[in-house]
Amino acid sequence: MKRKMLSYIFSVFILCSFINASSQESLDYRVVGPRIGFDVSRLALFYLEPGRVNFELSGDLEIRELNYYAVLEVGWQQIDFEGKNYNYSSGGLYGRLGLDYNFLNLQSPDDYEMLYAGGRYGYSRFNHQADQIIITENYWGEYQTSVPKDGVNAHWLELIVGIKAELSKNLFIGWDIRGKFLLHKSGNGVMDPYNIPGFGNGSRRVAIGFSYTVAYRIPVTRKRVTINFQNPE
Amino acid sequence: MKTGFVLKHLFTYWFILMAILFLTSCNEPEGCNQSTNVFLRMDFYQLEAGEETSYTLPDLTVYGVTKPDSLIYDDVSNLTSINLPLSNARDQCAFVFVSENVYDTISFQYSSELTLLSIDCGFINIFNIKKIDANYTLLDSLFIRQPEIDANEEENVKLYF
């Protein structure tokens, strides 16, 4: 079932590679400016995972001639929950830096939609701790302790596929799915992080993530560019 | 603004993405599915002509030296191994073994390490045996087989009678 759906998605890429109708060179203007996005999928966490708060902003900038987009993503996460025999809290920041490549050929100079793949390097710095740890042992009695605040660094790489479209002038919407591969995480070894901000499950080395982003492009300037675009047939 | 390929398919493929995420999330185990009880397991043996065989102590009673009124095992006869609780608050424990009015005391020195077993199972203390002493009135000898004591219920100490 999963394989079928994945093959369906990737068939989109193959389809796109064949969209190569007669193209011609045109000299025209194109709006250039950073696109600032907000990941609205994080808002769903309020309902899906009470106790977890996560906000994420993204920014990308078109490097048109190369079909590349430079991307920066930053976020903040706070987690507080009561476990079986402990209270856990975690909070910190994360950032990702990378590139996206747009597979689509432009149909006109004002075509900004994207079917893209990209890569990211991610870094997170956060603290986590556990309080009121109560270990129950019937013969000798309860024992209460805590794990003091521990600073953790984590690095990872991501591979991304996604799409973006311009809903109205300068307003974009899009989603992506990403595979994440943990390179390193520090820590005191007593407990794995429940969740690494920006990465995901703290006890795994591979994670899957997704985002659903609403973005606004700040139209800084109009750049005169030479592009190859398709003739409508 | 151009309405093209991506916009047409934006929401269609969103459902596929959601389906993948749903199936992925279904693989997440929920709840604690493993033991969180940490006991020192000791198995009883007898050596006969160099051969190691399981042994049972008749009418065995076991209690902590400081808690003679609270018995861990009360006059049992068919056990070939016992599980003893170690104190989380201290780094040593001693237990009295009584069988047919013969008393022996076995004391343990150990270290402990707090470990988060899993998010659902919570924290446990994992112990590491440093030293064992005994009076050797009931006991003939002992051997530390696995000094680390966790929730896996593996044999930690062999007791020979």
Give the gap in angstroms from C-alpha A220 to the nearest C-alpha of chain B: 17
Smallest CA–CA distance from A131 into chain B, residue = B123
- Mean pLDDT to the nearest integer, A21-47: 77
Q: What is the pLDDT of residue A22?
A: 40
Is the Cβ pair B16, A140 closer than 8 Å?
no
Contact A146, A152 (CB under 8 A): no
Whether residues B13 and A147 touch (CB distance < 8 A) is answered with no
- The pLDDT confidence band at residue A16, using thresholds 50, 70 and 90, is very low
| pLDDT, average across residues A82-103 | 94
For residue B66, what pLDDT band results from cuts at 50, 70 and 90? very high
Residue A227 has pLDDT above 80, yes or no: no
Is the pLDDT at A10 greater than 50, yes or no? Answer: no
For residues A214 and A233, what is the distance between their CA atoms, to the nearest angstrom? 31
Cβ–Cβ under 8 Å, residues B149 and B113: no
**Rounded to the nearest 5°, which phi and psi values hold at A199?**
-105, -60
Q: What is the pLDDT of residue A158?
A: 98
Query: Cβ separation of B21 and A208 shorter than 8 Å?
Result: yes
Residue A80, number of CB atoms within 10 A of its CB:
13
According to the model, what pLDDT value does residue B86 have? 95
Nearest CA in chain A to B32: A84
Angle, CA of A150, A155 and A158, to the nearest 5°: 140
Select the more confidently predicted residue: A64 or A57: A57
Q: Is B102 on the interface with A (CB under 8 A)?
A: no
Residue type at A45 in one-letter notation: L
Tell me the whole-structure pTM to 2 decimals: 0.73
Contact across the interface for B6 and A165, Cβ inside 8 Å: yes
Concatenated DSSP letters of A52-77: EEEEEEEEEEEEGGGTEEEEEEEEEE
Q: Is A228 exposed, middle or buried (0-12, 13-18, 19+ CB in 10 A)?
A: exposed
Can you give the pLDDT at residue A65? Answer: 67
pLDDT of residue A9: 42
Average pLDDT estimate for A125-150: 92
Confidence category of residue A108, pLDDT binned at 50, 70, 90:
confident
- Is A5–B16 a contact, with Cβ atoms under 8 angstroms apart? yes
Contacts of B64 in chain A (CB under 8 A): 139-140
**Contact between chains at A110 and B17 (C-beta distance less than 8 A):** no
pLDDT over threshold 90, residue B43: yes
Rounded Cα distance, B67 and A9, in Å: 67
- Residue A17 pLDDT exceeds 90: no
Chain-chain contact of B89 with A140 (C-beta, under 8 angstroms): yes
Whether B26 and chain A come into contact, CB under 8 Å, resolves to no
CB B138 within 8 A of CB B106: no
Does residue A88 carry a pLDDT above 90?
yes
Average pLDDT over residues B74-90: 92
Nearest-CB residue to A145 (from B7, B20, B114): B114
| A107-116, A153-162, A190-199, A201-210 — most confident range | A153-162
**Reported confidence tier of residue B8, pLDDT bands at 50, 70, 90:** low
Residues B67-90, mean pLDDT to the nearest whole number = 93
Look at A9 and B87 and tell me if their CB atoms are within 8 Å.
no
Q: Which pLDDT score is estimated for A179?
A: 96
Domain boundaries, chain B: 40-160
In the prediction, which pLDDT does B28 show?
52
CA-to-CA distance for A81 and A87, rounded, in angstroms? 6
- Write down the residue that tokens 């104190």 correspond to: B87
Q: E-strand spans in A48-142?
A: 52-63, 68-82, 87-102, 114-135
- B contact test, residue of A111, A139, A150 with most B CBs within 10 A: A139
Higher pLDDT, B31 or A117: A117
At A18 the pLDDT is 36
**Mean pLDDT, range A33-50, rounded to an integer:** 88
Rounded to whole angstroms, how far apart are CA atoms B101 and B3?
A: 92
Which pLDDT belongs to residue A64? 66
pLDDT at residue A96 is higher than 50: yes
Strand partners, B126: B113
Q: Which of B6, B13, B87 lies at the smallest CB-CB distance from A140?
A: B87
ipTM rounded to 2 decimals: 0.78
CB contact under 8 A, B20 and A168: no
Angstroms from A84 CA to nearest CA on chain B? 6
Q: Closest chain B residue to A48 measured between Cα atoms?
A: B25
Mean pLDDT score of chain A: 84
Yes or no, beta carbons of A85 and B88 under 8 Å apart:
no
Return d(Cα B55, Cα B141) in angstroms, integer: 13
- What confidence tier does A87 reach under pLDDT thresholds 50, 70, 90? very high
Residues in chain B with CB shorter than 8 Å from the CB of A210 are: 17, 21
- Closest residue in A to B87 (Cα–Cα): A140
Burial class, A157, CB count within 10 angstroms (exposed 0-12 / middle 13-18 / buried 19+): middle
